[in-house]
Structure formats: C-alpha cells, structure tokens
Amino acid sequence: MAITTMDQIIAGMQGAEAFLKVGSTMEAAGVLHSLFYTSGQPGAATAPSPGINGAALTTYAGQIPFANPASGDSHLALLEASSTLSGTLFLCDRLWHNSGITITTTTEQAITTPAWPARDRNGAATGVGVMCGIEVSGATGGGAVTNTTLRYTNTTPTGSRTATMASFPASAAAGTFVPFQYQAGDVGMKSIQGLTLGTTYSSGTIHLVAYRVLAMLGLTGTTQGGKAETKDIFKLGKAQLYNNTVPFLLWQPSATTAVTVSGRVAWTQG
C-alpha cells in the first residue's frame, strides 16, 4: 500500500536511527568527505575488497541501519543533525563499490560492473540519478591527479559515455570523496566499463562508489551558537528508500578542521 495521506505517514513512522561521527582532518574546504570510515555510531566501515569489478550492495557493515518494510514502501520522514563546524550533510544510498584499482596505471582499467540494485530514482536498475565518485580509504601521495575519466553506459542505454573529473587533490586525506561529472545530457549511469587516471598516485588506496543522493542538510555549526537543523517528509520531497537501501553519509566541509556530526534519521513505511 502506497503512503498517500498524513494518517498513513504517522501510522508508518519507524523509530529514529541515531548517528554520531567523529571526523578527522578534511582534505579541503568544499571537497566532499566520506564519513563511511569514520568512528562513531554506526561504527567505521572496513574498506571494500571485492576486486575491480566491484559488488552490488544490499547491506554493508558500517551503514546506517535500515530494515525493509513488511509490505509497501519506505519514505524518508526525518533528517535532523548538528555539527561542530558549518557544512552540508548528504544522506546517500550506496549501491556499488569496488577495490583493486592500480594507482600507478594511466591507461584504462577495464571494469565490468554487475547490474545495479533496483534502487535508482525510479526504483529500477537503469541508473537514473545514480552518480559515481572516487573515495579514499588510505591517504594518497603525489601531486594532483588531472583529467581522470570514467567510461560508462547511460540510462537510455548508450555506451562509451565519458564522465570527467578535472582534478583530484594532491596527497588526499583518507575519506576524501570526489564525484565524476556526467557527459552533457545524461541523467545517470547504468553501468561502468573503465577508469582512466590522468596521472599516477605514489601511494594510497582508492575506490569507485556508485551512489544516489537521498537528502541534504545545511548545518551552521554549534561553535557559533548554531542548533540542530531538521527537515521533515515534506521538505525532504517524500524521498523513497527502496528495499535493501544502504544509507551512508557524505560531508562537505567549510574548513579542513576535524568535525563531529550527530543527528538522527527516520522513515515511514507502509
């Protein structure tokens, strides 16, 4: 049964899941930082290890807990958070990730991704709204990596599309997360066929992550008298969480200083 009325929203409310992430030094102001490997609640995730072709995800230790409904749909009903510094918090669904990227290779590294879980914006596997980024689990060394590209199939599906990343930071801190930009006119990725690094890293471990943004929350920082910011189901656009969603957090900082982010998230089901 779809949730269409206020009574159904209230009747389907689930208990809120609290989160607390105590971060480390960020790479740079404005550069996204994955809180996936950050200690707190939930505990830090371990780095992915499925190999270059990666693994589609239906659960992963370190995610924000999510249980499928007995029947019907799940919608994001509440996102509330505060932070010690100002920035933007993103709640995302992690669909796929990989490992085994050779950081010293500048020719294309071929990738054969499995089908995405049916959790794109439309609850399908065609990739509408699915994005991809490079996530650092072990700090990298060397200079900025320029002109990194991703070869992918879009949602129509048309193959051999090129997603671009103008620059990846020099000596990126663990947790650094940099998204690719779609080729003009595209609205998502159905699959990935290859990664080409523009220049090499001297050290470190990186991964590709396919994900969908569920919600975002701008935070002012409690050190300046800020308070918790809250969005309800209406401000969240009744965002749908499909079965086996793997929620995780990204943080866009205003400074490199380590930040603590805490809050809670809840969904309504039915």
Residue 52 predicted with pLDDT over 50: yes
Quick one: pLDDT at residue 77? Answer: 97
Residue 79 predicted with pLDDT over 80: yes
Q: Are 4 and 218 contacting, i.e. CB atoms less than 8 angstroms apart?
A: no
Asked whether residue 79 is assigned to any structural domain, the reply reads: yes
Q: In what helix (H) or strand (E) does residue 7 lie, and over which residues does it extend?
A: helix 6-11
Least confident segment among 5-14, 79-88, 192-201, 253-262: 5-14
Residue partners of 213: CB distance under 8 A and separation at least 6 = 90, 91, 92, 129, 131
- Could you give the number of structural domains in the chain? 1
Distance of CA 160 to the CA centre of its chain: 24
Q: Which two tokens stand for residue 152?
A: 């992918």
How many helices and strands (H and E) does the chain possess? 1, 16
Mean pLDDT on 121-133: 98
Residue 105: give the domain boundaries. 20-269
Mean pLDDT on 49-59: 98
Asked whether residue 10 is assigned to any structural domain, the reply reads: no
Quick one: pLDDT at residue 224? Answer: 47
Distance of CA 135 to the CA centre of its chain: 9
Quick one: pLDDT at residue 223? Answer: 52
Whole-model pTM over 0.75 = yes
Asked whether residue 14 is assigned to any structural domain, the reply reads: no
Quick one: pLDDT at residue 73? Answer: 95
Band (pLDDT 50/70/90 cuts) for residue 1 is low
pLDDT per residue as tens digits for the range 239-263:
999 999 999 999 999 999 999 999 9
Quick one: pLDDT at residue 180? Answer: 98
Asked whether residue 161 is assigned to any structural domain, the reply reads: yes
Band (pLDDT 50/70/90 cuts) for residue 126 is very high
pLDDT per residue as tens digits for the range 104-118:
999 999 999 999 999
Asked whether residue 6 is assigned to any structural domain, the reply reads: no
pLDDT per residue as tens digits for the range 21-40:
998 899 999 999 999 999 99
At residue 37, what is the residue type? Y
Residue 226 predicted with pLDDT over 70: no
Asked whether residue 15 is assigned to any structural domain, the reply reads: no
Residue 179 phi, psi (nearest 5): -75, 150
Asked whether residue 7 is assigned to any structural domain, the reply reads: no
Asked whether residue 75 is assigned to any structural domain, the reply reads: yes
